[in-house]
Amino acid sequence: MFIISNQNVKNLAYKNKEFLNQLIDTCDLENEWIKEKFFELEIKKCFVRGELRYSVVGTKLLNEIVNTSILNKNINIMNFYTRIYPMIHLKNDRSEESGLHFDQNDNNDMFTCWLTITDNEYSPISILNFQSKYLKKILSKFKFPRILLNEIKPHVGDLNFWNGHFLHKGNFNYSKKISCAYQMKFSKFKYIYEYSKYKNERYSDNTNISNEKIDLNYKKFNELIKSLDKINLTDAPNKLTFDIKKILKELYPKGDSKISFSMSVLSQRISTQGKKFHLDDSSKKALVYDLASILIGSENLVSLDRICKKKFNYDFYESLYNADYLNCIPKESHEWKKILKTNKIKIDKNE
């Protein structure tokens, strides 16, 4: 693990913190996590994460991180990078507890870049003092005593890097404040589940987001979720995808990258945490949210991976493609094809 410090990155990190506070006010996001409000809080957190990821200040910070990072010899050998992926931990947020884990699950060598945009009153990350590329799977299954873990407390804007085999864990937020951090990936090859850019390319940061627009977006996001939750989940594939398309076309006739990402993250959150916190029909809700995420922008293709694991037949994917009113499903992309192939999904009746 190593750290890179840069004043421009730090200045932009604080601007992202200011925007985070604005979003918290817009959503009326509570400071403290409450088990009974798990789903409501996740909706708010996921909306905030989407807005941060595609915001002007978030994109400017991303570009500055890349400009700074590729000057490092370890990062420069990586060819691609992803957008920032915001993470939010409320006070006493039991839904965000994580165990020891590593980030790389294939042969695509990578580095994770992690930075906090909030001044934290606790240590948000712990790392295992003993690291082993070859024993990482075994080590990640154990709960180690604190004496074998090294708690780190990064400064706002410091770029913390570790490779894909590095064992680490997010810590429980016992402080009185909301904690927010960004992570992104630098990889040798294209990252499969999120779109990645070549290291010499940059994202445009000329989007203009007003306070009124954010408030409107939040209201529409809630309306979308309420409408999707009314869908009959027992319908045939053609009916299910048609109903989702109808709702999306009315609310988002031109699509929305931020909402596509937010829906995918919301699906992930309730897929992994819904049963734990007694959310009814969490698995079925997650499927609808993933389908909506694909149809409104396909911004996070881990949604496709989760759909593939449902083992639907050819007719289901045909109905999904027929519902693509924005022509945004990247059927011919390397990422889409690789996910289908990895899951052994064949969408051609002649195959």
Q: Please report, as a single letter, which amino acid is at residue 220.
A: K
Partner residues linked to 149 by β-bridges: 128
Residues 88 and 66 in one domain: yes
Residues 180 and 260 in one domain: no
Are residue 131 and residue 186 in the same domain, yes or no? yes
Q: Please write the tens of the pLDDT for every residue from 101-159.
A: 777 777 889 999 999 999 998 888 888 777 777 677 787 777 776 667 778 888 999 99
| Mean pLDDT across the chain | 90
Q: Are 57 and 11 in contact (CB under 8 A)?
A: no
Write down the pLDDT at residue 198.
96
Instruction: Single out the residue in 152, 172, 198 at which a domain terminates.
Output: 198
Provide the residue range defining the domain that includes 38: 2-198
Q: Looking at the structure, tell me whether residues 176 and 221 fall in a common domain.
A: no
Domain annotation covers residue 49: yes
Q: Starting from the edge strand earliest in sequence, which strands make up the sheet with 149-152, in order? A: 149-152, 125-128, 168-170
Reference 115, options 66, 72, 70; nearest CA is 66
Specify if 122 maps to a domain. Answer: yes
Establish if 73 belongs to a structural domain: yes
The pTM of the full predicted model, rounded to 2 decimals, is: 0.92
Last residue of some domain: 198, 225, 241? 198
pLDDT in tens, 306-346: 999 988 888 899 999 999 999 999 999 999 999 999 999 88
Check if the beta carbon of residue 243 is closer than 8 Å to that of residue 231: yes
Query: Is 247 inside any structural domain?
Result: yes
* Domain-embedded: residue 204: no
pLDDT at 351 over 60: no
Note whether residue 205 is domain-resident. Answer: no
Residues 27 and 82 in one domain: yes
Structural domain count, the chain? 2
Instruction: Sort 138 into a burial class: Cβ within 10 Å, 0-12 / 13-18 / 19+.
Output: exposed
On whether both 185 and 219 belong to a single domain, the answer is no
**153 shares its domain with 268:** no
Query: What kind and span of H or E run contains 34?
Result: none
- In terms of domains, do 230 and 170 share one? no
Which CATH number characterizes residue 148's domain?
2.60.120
Q: Are residues 56 and 175 in the same domain?
A: yes
162 and 54 inside one domain: yes
Q: Is 23 in the same domain as 105?
A: yes
Domain boundary among 198, 222, 247: 198
In a domain, 260, yes or no: yes
Question: Is residue 152 in some structural domain?
Answer: yes
Grouping H, G, I as helix, E, B as strand and the rest as coil, residue 134 is coil
Judge if 297 and 335 occupy the same domain.
yes
pLDDT at residue 207, rounded to an integer: 59
Q: Report the range of poorest mean pLDDT among 46-55, 183-192, 231-240, 271-280.
A: 231-240
H-type alpha helices, 28-145: 38-54, 56-69, 73-76, 136-139
